[in-house]
Homo-oligomer: A and B are copies of this chain.
């Protein structure tokens, strides 16, 4: 009987589905199913009614639901309490890739500072691979990176999904475009070793498209430069 099983239970109850909960928890569906079975065995009561349309809480499940929420809340408060007593951690060091650091992070950081005003936060931008190295040596405590890195041995969770936008100048007359048409138009994209291009290449590979076969008109470093040029 552990805290994580309670989290799995709550996720499942809220989603009314083991598969959906598994997805939220970044686990496979059988794994969550197993945890719930273990939980039921431990409590000695069936918590869910299973069907092929999902799951529903039993009477016992409803009782346990309120307790599980209490457990989670207690757990979160505990962690807050332990963290605030931490004298040496009045500062938080964050490393981030350029994309997150320029757009998503500033707003999130502003909201975070309102909740923890006494905490001094430092943020620096680096390429994703470099951030992983800094995490390994504890020179930063949190890192934001872009997809396509080997995250073995790290605690991680996805925080943002973004789409790639093909930006055209205002004068353009093209209204629809196929991937194969990319060969035919003059392109400007970021330079080869940038995080952005790596992620873009990975995404396009999922559609069977090899980005490296393109010969762009220009290669620029940084999204803002590209936007200006277009």
A82: chain B residues within 8 A (beta carbon): 43-45, 60, 63-64
Expressed in whole angstroms, the Cα–Cα distance for A12 and B2 within the complex equals 20
Give the interface residue-count category, chain A: 20 to 34
Which one, A23-31, A66-74, A170-178, A203-211, is touching chain B? A66-74
Expressed in whole angstroms, the Cα–Cα distance for A64 and B81 within the complex equals 9
Chain B: which residue is nearest A3 at the CB level?
Answer: B1
Identify which of B44, B67, B81 contacts A63 (C-beta below 8 A). B81
User: In the complex, are the beta carbons of B43 and A59 less than 8 A apart?
Assistant: no
Interface of A is mostly: helix
A79: chain B residues within 8 A (beta carbon): 43
Expressed in whole angstroms, the Cα–Cα distance for A79 and B64 within the complex equals 9
Chain A 64-100 interface residues, beta-carbon cutoff 8 Å to B:
64, 67, 70-71, 74-75, 77-79, 81-82, 85
Smallest distance from the beta carbon of A166 to chain B beta carbons, Å? Answer: 44
Interface membership of A4, Cβ < 8 A: yes
User: In the complex, are the beta carbons of B81 and A67 less than 8 A apart?
Assistant: yes
Smallest distance from the beta carbon of A38 to chain B beta carbons, Å? Answer: 11
A71: chain B residues within 8 A (beta carbon): 71, 74
Please list the residues of chain A having a beta carbon within 8 angstroms of any beta carbon in chain B.
1-4, 43-45, 59-60, 63-64, 67, 70-71, 74-75, 77-79, 81-82, 85
Question: Across chains A and B, which 4 residue pairs bring their CB atoms closest together, nearest first?
Answer: A2-B2, A67-B78, A1-B3, A1-B2
